[in-house]
A and B are shown apart, each in its own frame.
Chain A
Amino acid sequence: MTLNNTDLLSQAGSAENILKFDDIEPVLESNDLSVAYNGNTAISDVSIQIPKNSVVSLIGPSGCGKSTLLRCFNRMNDLIPSASVEGTVSFAGQNIYAPDVDPTEIRFRIGMVFQRPNPFPKSIYENVAFGPRINGMTDDLDEIVETSLRRAAVWEEVKDRLSDSGLSVSGGQQQRICIARALAVNPEVVLMDEPASALDPISTQAIEQLIQELSNEVTIIIVTHNMQQATRISNYSAVMMAGEERIGRMIEYGTNEQVFGNPKDERTEAYVTGRIG
């Protein structure tokens, strides 16, 4: 298969290769979403439906716009002055880019976990309590901290050192504390940008297991470069690709059985079989 044709790489996937859910209301949905930085388009016309309590992987070569797309789902791109967003992102039926929507509230309801663990330079307890405090959820703070750390599968490891710095534990534990921090405000969706790429295999396994357990209660969208990981933890995968003009487009979205077993788009086939990357 030769896919050096940049025209081909630049094309969005045909509609029939993009999964649509007719029978359920997606918890999150983008329509014709485009993002530009300093006027340069980074992703173009991405339309995707995310079903509730599913795990959706965003995959694709470096620079194809996966993280840009992910950041759109909780308005993190607002924090980048040069970024402009067109199109809509509907969350629970409401366009989160509507003028009357408070992005801070959106970020509580749609949490985010980053590639590198980024605990605050505070105690483990305060890291987890941070969001609830801001939200005025101070009545049962101890319980919220414990429950969140338990949900993040790190309670047993840190319960006796809650006053230690969040930076004093291992990288894998730090990442799970960051997940606990995100969970503490009861988000409906958690966005994860390569959450295990900086971790060792054991910590990675712990994060993967955690994602699968959490998916019973929250919806998770995860950017990953690790296709095996995507097949293990997610229900659906969306494939992004960018041609020479570096505009990312979604070329295929479907069940993992489709994307990794029998892709409809030859570019997906070339990517998942490692012919292009």
Chain B
Amino acid sequence: MNEQSSIIPTGRQEFDRELGRLEAELILMSGLVEKAIFDALNALKNRDIDRSQKVIDEDDHIDKTELEIERYCIELIRRQSPMAGDLRRIVASLQIAGELERIGDYAEGIAKISITMGSQPPLKELIDIPRMGDMAVSMLKRSLEAFISRDADFVRTLGIDLEKDDDDVDDLYVKVKSDLMELVKSNPDNAESATYLMWVAHNVERVADRAMNIVERALYQATGELVSGTTQIESTSE
């Protein structure tokens, strides 16, 4: 009647290794994207056309990496029929790869603007935009840490910190726009350069937003909670 119980570890070591490989690929992609943003902003600051062109060229590599991760996730879903935490991990990875790819596009966009601006003298010394860039890249790094941790409490705590940083980035963005508008008002000839810089600031602000999306995916992976919008990360921690 009572057939022999066979509760045994089934040994999904290979699947665990594959999940580890997926995570490693994401970390690698994140590194490429962080470097792209850093290089794009430095090239803009230093009027370095060659470096800007390199950022544009290397975006292909980021795009291909995203495709590889996507294919790998699909293969894992097809082959391993993941459930519960495994499924959440793969789904979150898939979405984060998409977020990183878009951040790569922002870096490429900044590089293209930089090239379009050519050798035009800067309107003013770039201070706030690189600051926004540093903050956004820091947010990106920490959002990936949250994902890798798979620790619900850590993700929530970090998420709340990042919300504050995102607010700071938004404040700086408002300030940059305001400063640039003043420059245009003082001399309408500044309009073209100011518009370019506004686009740069917009792209950087979007990087911070994407980092917040990554934290939301990290929260989903760790807890199964689907949230959208910064305040909800805090509210789910109660």
Instruction: List residues of A whose CB falls within 8 A of some B CB.
Output: 2-4, 9, 37, 40, 42, 61-65, 68, 80, 82-83, 227-228, 241-244, 246, 260-263, 268-269, 272-277
Contact = CB atoms under 8 A, between A and B. Distances in A.
Nearest to B6: A62
A237 to B, nearest CB: 11
A42 B2 contact: yes
Contacts of A9: 7
A276 B1 contact: no
Interface of B: 1-10, 12, 15, 80-88, 223-224
A41 to B, nearest CB: 9
A37 B15 contact: no
B84 A276 contact: no
A3 B9 contact: yes
Given A227-B83, A228-B81, A83 B5 contact: no
21 contacts: A9-B7, A37-B2, A42-B1, A61-B6, A62-B3, A62-B4, A63-B2, A63-B3, A242-B7, A243-B5, A246-B2, A260-B83, A260-B84, A261-B83, A262-B224, A268-B84, A272-B84, A274-B10, A275-B9, A276-B7, A276-B10
Contacts of B86: 273
Contacts of A62: 3-6
B2 to A, nearest CB: 4
Contacts of B2: 37, 40, 42, 63, 65, 68, 246
A261 B84 contact: yes
Contacts of B223: 262
A61 B5 contact: yes
A82 B1 CA distance: 10
B6 A63 contact: yes
Given A272-B84, A273-B86, A274-B12, A261 B224 contact: yes
A269 B3 contact: no
A4 B223 CA distance: 24
Tell me the dominant secondary structure on chain A's binding face: loop
B125 to A, nearest CB: 50
Nearest to A245: B5
Contacts of B8: 276-277
B82 A4 contact: no
A80 B1 contact: yes
B88 A261 contact: yes
A188 B1 CA distance: 27
A64 B5 contact: yes
A195 B224 CA distance: 32
Given A3-B7, A261-B84, 16 more contacts: A62-B3, A62-B4, A63-B4, A64-B5, A242-B7, A243-B5, A243-B7, A246-B5, A261-B87, A262-B84, A262-B224, A268-B84, A273-B84, A273-B86, A274-B83, A276-B10
A272 B83 contact: yes
B6 to A, nearest CB: 5
Nearest to A259: B84
Contacts of A64: 5, 7
B12 A275 contact: yes
B78 to A, nearest CB: 12
A69 B84 CA distance: 25
Contacts of B3: 62-63
Nearest to B80: A274
Contacts of A4: 9
A183 B233 CA distance: 49
Contacts of B87: 260-261
Nearest to A246: B5
A264 to B, nearest CB: 10
A20 to B, nearest CB: 21
A114 B81 CA distance: 27
Contacts of A80: 1
A25 B6 CA distance: 36
A224 to B, nearest CB: 14
A272 B86 CA distance: 10
A269 B84 contact: yes
A275 B84 contact: no
B88 A262 contact: yes
Contacts of A263: 84
